[in-house]
Amino acid sequence: MDPARAPQNQLPRPCLVLVLLNPRGGKGKALQLFRSHVQPLLAQADVSFRLLLTERRNHARELVRTEELGRWDALVVMSGDGVMHEVVNGLMERPDWETAIRKPLCSLPAGSGNALAASLNHYAGYEQVTNEDLLNNCTLLLCRRQLAPMNLLSLRMLSGLRVFSVLSLAWGFIADVDIESEKFRRLGERRFTVGTLLRLVALRVYRGRLAYLPVEQGVSAVPAPPPLDPQDRQGPVDAHLVPLEEPVPAHWTVVPEQDFVLVLVQLHSHLGSEMLVAPMGHGGAGAMHLFYVRAGVSRAALLRLFLAMEKGRHMECNCPYLVYVPVVAFRLEPKDGKGVFAVDGEMMVSEAVQGQVHPDYVWMVSGRGDPSPSLEPQWPPPSRKPQQQAPPPEVSL
């Protein structure tokens, strides 16, 4: 596939994909699940693949930074959300980032946090499922080959670091649960339940300043001029952002409260395979979800919110401390040094940060579009044995 060519609405048939698999993700059974659940369906659907096993943190980022992308019709990530985060940032660090980021991506869930896969499952119209059922659904999406553009979040830190997010930025309660529950990774997604209960016992308040550009203001606002620094040319221009050392523009909204239990900026519907945090959908091109919970909420009320979130019913709780706003940009300035950021589930140091959403920037395998029934693979796969063929190469770099 020519990397300079913009992707069409679907992958070709047959197609060749590069699978980046984290064998230690989730419960450590990703490779076994690939062999038993994914590979038979790909064989039926004429999807050939090369399998690469990641060996360490940021390994996938290093691989895609130098990979010859023209060899592949898509990059498939079988892991949790963290490896997809690595892949997208690796693509954005390439000299040819403008074409590299248009390489179609696919998320196959095999981690303890599978929010992106759960969101794609939701958009496809499937019922909310977990574990192998979610993996089967996402594999079927790959076999159907439908593509759809997704938003990308550009984040800028006070330290000068720039990061791209495909899912979320969390600060406060959610980020602490995400990071502190790492020690329970072998529990799979149950680690978040354990982490939530532990953090509720020792509920914290986080002090900071929050501001945002609402969707309706972002549409009518005049963007700032493009930056002159050549270093800023690595990635799209964040036209709605001014330097963090300056006040936010006058047409932004500044939240008067400065004590929070959590702040969450979310691109997609799910924060986990059983956490439908944005039942209102993916926000549309150029929009993202901003949630925050003000200090003063009781432990019981917060627990009710998280229990209701499994089915996307938390907005019906009418909790006066929970605020939701669709936005195109935001700024968050932690004031007391408490807490950390979790960006796509990956820990980052807590410092002043601002971000802007870029519409329809990443192409993902998705359930949008009507697949041809004659090309629909079967699950479970037929019991008859296929013709003998050499096993695909498996490489651990």
Catalytic annotation, residues: 81
C-alpha distance from residue 57 to each of 85, 89, 181, 246 (Å): 11, 13, 18, 35
Strands 346-348 and 341-343: antiparallel
Identify whether the C-beta of residue 78 lies closer than 8 Å to the C-beta of residue 34.
yes
The amino acid sitting at 198 is L
Q: Where are the beta strands (DSSP E) in 269-396?
A: 270-272, 275-276, 288-294, 322-334, 341-343, 346-348, 353-365, 394-396
The DSSP code for 235 is S
Buried b (16+ CB within 10 A) or exposed e, 339-375: bbbbbbbbebebebbbbbbbeebbbbbbbeeebeeee
Give dist(CA 48, CA 72) in Å, integer. 10
